[in-house]
């Protein structure tokens, strides 16, 4: 298959391209923002188009020239803390307007190609659109009502709704996926796990928002990518699929595990520093993946405790990887 992958130089995107480019012809469309890691280019031997999904003429030209069978839409602003800043309009431009532009151009391309049945538009979304769960709530399913609680989540929810609207209104063959918190090698240093690993390497306290008891459901990025491909190959058009790790851990548990088991250190003592919580920080996320298990024959792999060691080792082998991004983390 010919796959147009937006945001392919980001964390999830480059893992997806690396895993599936031997069997598929992949073209990456990336705006090369601060979240794009330059070194990911060395691991990719397909075509690259540098541009923005908000540029309709640019997107139109790429679709016509490349003629993809599938469009996998990962391009997004993703960091919650950045979405709380005064200049957060970029979240609306990329996650909402950009998604609408891409959908519209994909629709016109699909119609011009005779509405060929192989075409798929895959919207890669997040568990955060469901909002915060109480401690004893069941994990969110595909039928759970959207309840985004921060600008990032709201912008992704708007993009998801646009995808569904294009499917219901014009029949654009599309699928939406939600994954829980991804982790793995090469993740931007603004995210929790790479940040605390770096702090451990430098002998600094690991910084955690609030009391450290916020719960996240951890999923290895490669497991998510397997789910995305399964959705493309076997998913129902117009459907939604959740990919959860079945691995709920508090941020404090993650920090303590990294400190004690990956670096061989003793009790945390003063190695965790609790910083003021960010506004509206959701208490708990978790996803029910039963639909993906039954319909796509997908399930998550090993729990985070079995794979985080390889992430730590990657950081040890790549001490200067932050320099491979456009901008160092300031949030």
HEC string of 133-191 equals CCCCCCCECCCCCCCCCCHHHHHHHHHHHHHHHHHHHHCCCEEEEEECEEECCCCCCCC
- Reading the chain (331 residues) residue by residue, the pLDDT tens digits are 999 999 999 999 999 999 998 899 999 999 888 777 777 777 778 899 999 999 999 999 999 999 999 999 999 988 787 888 888 888 999 999 999 999 999 999 999 999 999 999 999 999 999 999 999 999 999 999 999 999 999 999 999 999 999 999 999 999 999 999 999 999 998 899 999 999 988 888 899 999 999 999 999 999 999 999 999 999 999 999 999 999 999 999 999 888 887 777 655 556 889 999 988 899 999 999 999 999 999 999 999 999 999 999 999 998 888 776 654 333 3
Domains identified in the chain and CATH numbers: 2-183+220-243 (3.40.50.720), 192-215+247-285+302-324 (3.90.25.10)
**Alpha-carbon gap, residue 22 to 45, rounded angstroms:** 10
**Exposure letters 171-181 (e unless 16+ CB within 10 A, then b):** ebbbbbbbbbb
Spatial contact of 98 and 122, defined as CB atoms under 8 Å apart: no
Q: What is the pLDDT of residue 329?
A: 36
Six token digits for residue 300: 């998550």
Q: What is the pLDDT of residue 45?
A: 80
In the chain, what is the straight-line distance between the N-terminal and C-terminal CA atoms, in Å? 39
Catalytic residue numbers, as ranges = 127-128, 152
Q: What is the pLDDT of residue 58?
A: 98
Q: What is the pLDDT of residue 267?
A: 53
- In 3D space, the residue among 311, 2, 14, 28 whose CA is nearest the CA of residue 185 turns out to be 311
């Amino acid at each position: 298959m010919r796959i147009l992958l937006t945001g392919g130089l980001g964390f999830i995107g480059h893992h997806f391209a690396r895993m599936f480019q031997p069997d598929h012809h992949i073209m990456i469309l990336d705006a090369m923002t601060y979240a794009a890691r330059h070194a990911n280019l060395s691991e990719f031997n397909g075509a690259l188009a540098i541009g923005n999904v908000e540029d309709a003429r640019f997107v139109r030209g790429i679709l016509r020239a490349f003629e993809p069978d599938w469009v996998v839409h990962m391009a997004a602003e993703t960091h919650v803390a950045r979405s709380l800043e005064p200049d957060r309009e970029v979240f609306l431009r990329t996650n909402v307007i950009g998604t609408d532009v891409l959908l519209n151009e994909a629709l016109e391309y699909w119609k011009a190609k005779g509405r060929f049945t192989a075409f798929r538009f895959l919207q890669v979304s997040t568990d955060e659109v469901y909002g915060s769960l109480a401690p004893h709530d069941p994990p969110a399913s595909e039928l759970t009502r959207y309840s985004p609680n921060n600008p990032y989540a709201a912008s992704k929810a708007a993009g998801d709704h646009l995808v569904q609207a294009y499917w219901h209104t014009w029949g654009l063959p599309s699928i939406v996926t939600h994954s829980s918190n991804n982790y793995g090698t090469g993740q931007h240093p603004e995210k929790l796990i790479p940040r605390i690993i770096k702090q451990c390497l430098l002998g600094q306290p690991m910084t955690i928002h609030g009391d450290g008891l916020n719960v996240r459901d951890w999923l290895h990025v490669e497991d998510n990518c397997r789910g995305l491909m399964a959705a493309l190959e076997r998913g129902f058009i117009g459907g939604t699929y959740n990919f959860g790790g079945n691995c709920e851990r508090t941020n404090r548990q993650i920090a303590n595990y990294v400190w004690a088991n990956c670096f061989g250190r003793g009790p945390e003592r003063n190695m965790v520093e609790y910083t003021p919580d960010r506004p509206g920080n959701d208490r708990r996320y978790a996803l029910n993946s039963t639909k993906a298990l039954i319909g796509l024959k997908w399930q998550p792999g090993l729990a985070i405790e079995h794979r985080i060691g390889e992430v730590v080792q990657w950081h040890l082998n790549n001490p200067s990887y932050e320099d491979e991004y456009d901008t160092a983390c300031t949030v």
